[in-house]
Amino acid sequence: MRTQIIEILSAEELRRTVTRLASEVIEKSGDLSKLALVGIYTRGVPLAKMLGRQMEMLENLPVPVGSIDVTFYRDDLDQIGVRTPAKSEIPFDISGKTVVLVDDVIRTGRTIRAALNAVNEYGRPQTIRLLVLVDRGHRELPICPDFTGKQLPTANEEQIKVYLQDVDGQDGVELIKVISP
């Protein structure tokens, strides 16, 4: 089997997408003093930090950014395998706030379901919203993002690779297609 790599978002397009998403969150959130971003490991964390920096540039107001690892909240570890969990860090009170969960890609919705359970151990937000960079479709659970960078229907055997400067040394999004002989 061969693979074909297709660029979905260049570094510049990813930067523009993050700027647009930051603006959408600001517009729909109202009181930014009650807003917090929580990135889901692995690439949701640097994505949340990028969004936080962009929001601060746009509004001259810092937005708190936390991180959460959902490994122990997952119901599909037998299918995806266990990895060493990262340290969750939410160094601010989320009670009564609008929490925007941030992830790079959504497919089945299982990661987000796990994140919802994990976040509730840190307090009771007024609202939880979901922001994803890429929505692949293929939902197994009734979960829909509030903010989406790019909708990209894919086949199950295809992969989306998100590259972020803080983790990978470059920015971009690629689709990896499997080509039958």
Residue 160 domain flag: no
Helices 44-59, 11-29: axis angle to 10 degrees equals 60
Q: Which range marks the domain in which residue 26 is found?
A: 10-153
- What pLDDT, in 10s, does the model give residues 105-152? 999 999 999 999 999 999 999 999 999 999 999 999 999 999 999 999
In a domain, 77, yes or no: yes
| 181 lies in some domain | no
Retrieve residue 64's tokens. 């708190």
Q: Which burial class, exposed, middle or buried, applies to 48 when counting CB atoms under 10 A from its CB (0-12, 13-18, 19+)?
A: buried
Residue 171 domain flag: no
This prediction has a pTM of 0.94
Asked whether residue 67 is domain-assigned, the answer is yes
- Give per-residue pLDDT as tens, 21-74: 999 999 999 899 999 999 999 899 999 999 999 999 999 999 999 999 998 876
Residue 180 lies in a domain: no
Q: Considering the domain boundaries, does residue 172 fall inside one?
A: no
Q: By CB neighbour count within 10 A (0-12 exposed, 13-18 middle, 19+ buried), where does 69 fall? A: buried
Q: What percent of the chain is modeled with pLDDT above 70? A: 94
The enclosing domain of 107 has a CATH number of: 3.40.50.2020
Task: Tell me the pLDDT tens digit for each residue of 149-165.
Answer: 999 999 989 999 999 99
Number of structural domains (the chain) is 1
pLDDT for 106 equals 97
